[in-house]
Amino acid sequence: MSTQLNGKRVAFLVTDGFEQVELTGPRDALQQQGATVEILGEEKGTVRGWNHDEPADEFPVDATFDSVQADRYDAIVLPGGVQNSDTIRLIPGAQKLVKSLSAAGKPLAVICHGGWLLVSCDLVKGKRMTSFKTLQDDIRNAGGNWVDEQVVVDGNLISSRQPDDIPAFNEALIKALAG
């Protein structure tokens, strides 16, 4: 295990229906580099991942969106999954955390449908980013510059398209956190 990210704390914001590998892949890579990872949800208890369109595993929620302060974290990761992403984008506590970390210039890492929360927070205007292809109109309509690339880094925003891109996504996220 590397200690490159010792002392770094990363929040994964999810609701039920997140794409499981988009949480476990980045989480495992961050932990292998020494980062502390917390899963944040709207409520205490557990959240259920999905493997595309099938229910998968449950994960314990470490804290709720409303119970933590944004300055506790060095980055936020937003896994995709249509159900998760469509739900979380309307939750005020999740929006507040994302806006706070963005204002502080800390990394916001989104994959697949995770970019919907950034659209709802009005954080994509003027940003170059990628996502799952079905979000391209939403991103463009919100003033973003959508591109079809494996991973895109624009300032503090790291975005990726889909599970196949997780290795490149992880590399960009670890590089941003390592400074």
Report how far apart, in Å, the C-alpha atoms of 2 and of each of 11, 30, 101, 178 are: 20, 10, 25, 12
Residue of 112, 139, 174, 177 marked active site = 112
- Candidates 113, 117, 156, 162; catalytic one: 113
Q: Are 44 and 64 in contact (CB under 8 A)?
A: yes
Q: Where are the alpha helices (DSSP H) in the chain?
A: 20-32, 82-88, 92-103, 115-120, 136-141, 166-178
Whole-number pLDDT of residue 1 = 67
Please give the pLDDT value at position 3.
Answer: 83
Q: Are 20 and 57 in contact (CB under 8 A)?
A: yes
Q: Which residue has the tokens 């292998």?
A: 32
Contacts of 71 (CB under 8 A, 6+ apart): 100, 104
Examine the residue annotation and report whether 112 is marked as an active-site residue of this protein: yes
Does domain 9-178 fall under CATH 3.40.50.880? My reply is yes
Low-confidence ranges of the chain (pLDDT < 50): none
Which helix (H) or strand (E) covers residue 73, if one does? none
Contact call for residues 48 and 16 (beta carbons, < 8 A): yes
| pLDDT value, residue 2 | 77
Lookup: tokens for 84: 């998760």
Long-range pairs, 142-150, Cβ under 8 A, ≥24: 144/119
Query: Per residue in 60-91, pLDDT tens?
Result: 999 999 999 999 999 999 999 999 999 999 99
* pTM of the predicted model as reported, rounded to 2 decimal places: 0.97
